[in-house]
Amino acid sequence: MIRRLLLSHLSIALLFLVLLEFPLGYLYIQQERERAITEVEHQAEALAVFADEAIRISRMDQLAELVSSNSRRINAGVVIVDPAGRVIVSSRTLADAEKNELPQQPDIKAILNDRQSLGRSHGEIDGVPHVNITVPLGSAVTVHGAVRLTVREDSLGVDVSRVWMSLSAIDLVLLAGVFALVVVLVRWVRKPVRELEKATKRLADGQGFKPASVLTGPPELRQLAVTFNGMASRLQQLIASQRAFAAEASHQLKTPLAALRLRLETLEPYIALRARHNLEAALAETDRLARMVDGLLAMAAFEESSLVREPVDLDALVYDRAQTWAPVVARSGVNLTVSGTRIGEVWAVPGAIEQIIDNLLANALRVSPKGSTITLERRWQFPGKSRRYEGAAELHVIDQGPGMSEEHRQRAFERFWRAPGSGKDGTGLGLAIVQQLTRAGGGEVFLLPAVGTGLDVVIALLPVHDETPRQSGEKWGLFRRLFASRGRHSATGRKATSCGGPGDTPAPG
């Protein structure tokens, strides 16, 4: 903002100064030139008085000395002619051609023929522009001749370059004043704007709301700060009440659900065999409702906690969760494989990677047929040429289930949404929790079709060696650009491979 305001104000000030000072400078130069010419005219008139007296008393030697001294004093050429235009005396030697042309010169003719009181003409001597000032000898009634002073045009008036340099210096001083004034004005306006920006960022990052100052800045910004503080306070109250309701409602449901399940289990001996499937369905729905309540409690706890990103070892966590899930996956007749490139540390919320992998493995296991394989694969994604500074670390969880259509993949992160035909044991909260945990660490999650059949869930994370954790606006831009042009997922070379390093072997099962 400060650059735009400075540029606009300085441009306007500079335009104003240019439009004002060019005419002013031109008029000043012309005025000084006319003043100098008038001074030369006065010198010519004074010389004419003394010359007329010297001619009247026939003191030609005195006249020659007078012409010579005045020529040196005013740095001008002096010529005195008689009424016929013949040269009486001259400060410099004139050629015959110049002498013959004198009577025809406009300024000489104006005095001798037209009886004017002043003659002026322009000419060149050796290529240098000169001004000729001519006045009559004698009275207005009887003209005894004429006195002509010839001066260089560049000696008239003031030094033009000095005038423009002086005006330029004034411009610089004025522009410096405008610059200082704009800086003070911008800081006065910018301070409350920056406070509003910081308050908005704290509110958006969930760091707690600190009211913006309403005592500084223009009245409009102070009123905006008052309005923003009120809005933020009401928004926090609404969010707090919503979270409290979700947490309290979920917590209050846990005990009745546990009691309901116990009562259903105690009914089992009294239920006829042909109605036993209804009891099992009721127990399954009770379990699903309990899992949904647990998911809501987890999300409520996640939203209320103060989240701090820290470096976590992605490779170690992947192998740890693979070993934990290996027996469960094996009992379902599904293979679990770990593959890919060693990643190292990434930015994440403590405990988030474990929950993400657990949720994704649970979802993958639910849809994987017997004999299929679930793959945990680590990769580098390069949006540009620089691996170190632009690469994003990716964790792929790939199953060989039925997969999802494009429409279903777009809706999969909605809370409580379940794909048609996915069964009744899901809660519709797993992917929503995964997305929330991933974004809390500065990353993003994407759903892509796997090769053949199945789903490829991509967790894109920021590597620690790349940079410090980014702000939310920056992380969104990075990962949106990362996956905007990928289209349908290409999984060439997706086969599980063993990577060097401790534990880089497929997990059991």
pLDDT in tens, 227-273: 878 888 887 788 777 667 766 766 677 777 778 878 888 888 878 77
**CA 387 to chain CA centroid, nearest Å:** 26
In this prediction, residue 307 carries a pLDDT of: 61
In this prediction, residue 206 carries a pLDDT of: 63
pLDDT for 205 beyond 70: no
What is the number of other CB atoms lying within 10 angstroms of the CB of residue 172? 11
- What are the tokens at 352? 């988030």
In this prediction, residue 458 carries a pLDDT of: 92
Decide which of 158, 182, 203 is a domain's last residue: 158
Q: What is d(CA 310, CA 271) in angstroms, rounded to the nearest whole number? A: 54
- What are the tokens at 261? 């399940």
End-to-end Cα separation, the chain, in angstroms: 60
Q: Minimal CA–CA distance to 105: which of 92, 120, 117?
A: 120
In this prediction, residue 329 carries a pLDDT of: 92
Q: Give me the sign of the Cα torsion angle 229, 231, 234, 237.
A: negative
pLDDT for 466 beyond 80: no
Weakest-pLDDT range from 127-141, 355-369, 443-457, 462-476: 462-476
Supply the CATH number for residue 116's domain: 3.30.450.20
Whether 411 maps to a domain, the answer reads yes
Whether 495 maps to a domain, the answer reads yes
In this prediction, residue 508 carries a pLDDT of: 31
Residues contacting residue 185 through CB under 8 Å, at least 6 positions apart:
5
Whether 62 maps to a domain, the answer reads yes
Whether 266 maps to a domain, the answer reads no
- Give ∠ CA 178-181-186 in degrees, rounded to 5: 120
Give Cα separations from 476 to 206, 469, 484 (angstroms). 17, 12, 12
For the stretch 152-192, pLDDT in tens is 877 776 677 777 888 888 888 888 888 888 888 877 877 78
**CA 377 to chain CA centroid, nearest Å:** 38
| Half-sphere exposure in the Cβ direction for 393 (13 Å, CA) | 27
- Specify the residue for token string 């999650």: 445
- What are the tokens at 158? 């003031």
Q: Which helix (H) or strand (E) holds 150?
A: strand 143-152
Whether 207 maps to a domain, the answer reads no
pLDDT for 441 beyond 90: no
In this prediction, residue 397 carries a pLDDT of: 95
For the stretch 302-326, pLDDT in tens is 655 556 788 999 999 999 999 999 9
Supply the CATH number for residue 495's domain: 3.30.565.10
Q: Do residues 298 and 337 lie in contact, with contact meaning Cβ atoms separated by under 8 Å?
A: no
In this prediction, residue 448 carries a pLDDT of: 92
- Specify the residue for token string 């047929």: 369
In this prediction, residue 427 carries a pLDDT of: 62
Whether 111 maps to a domain, the answer reads yes
Give Cα separations from 394 to 307, 342, 456 (angstroms). 22, 11, 11
Residues contacting residue 408 through CB under 8 Å, at least 6 positions apart:
419
* Total count of domains within the chain: 2
* Cut 0.75: pTM above it: no
In this prediction, residue 246 carries a pLDDT of: 65
Rounded (10°) angle between helices 276-304 and 430-440: 20
The percentage of the chain sitting over the pLDDT mark of 70, rounded to a whole number, equals 79
Q: Which helix (H) or strand (E) holds 442?
A: none
Of 139-143, 166-170, 342-346, the range with the highest mean pLDDT is 342-346
Decide which of 158, 190, 221 is a domain's last residue: 158
Q: Which residue has the higher pLDDT, 149 or 21?
A: 149
Of 131-140, 385-394, 449-458, the range with the highest mean pLDDT is 449-458
In this prediction, residue 491 carries a pLDDT of: 35
Decide which of 158, 188, 206 is a domain's last residue: 158
Q: What is d(CA 359, CA 380) in angstroms, rounded to the nearest whole number? A: 22
Q: SS3 for 311?
A: strand
Q: pLDDT band at 394, cuts 50/70/90?
A: very high
In this prediction, residue 495 carries a pLDDT of: 34
Domain extent for 474: 309-509
- Specify the residue for token string 């990962």: 479
- What are the tokens at 107? 């300024």
Tabulate helix, strand, coil % of the chain (nearest 5).
55, 15, 30
Kindly report the average pLDDT of the chain as a whole number.
77
Weakest-pLDDT range from 132-136, 361-365, 437-441, 473-477: 473-477
Q: Which residue has the higher pLDDT, 509 or 397?
A: 397
Whether 236 maps to a domain, the answer reads no
Q: Which residue has the higher pLDDT, 298 or 195?
A: 195
Whether 227 maps to a domain, the answer reads no
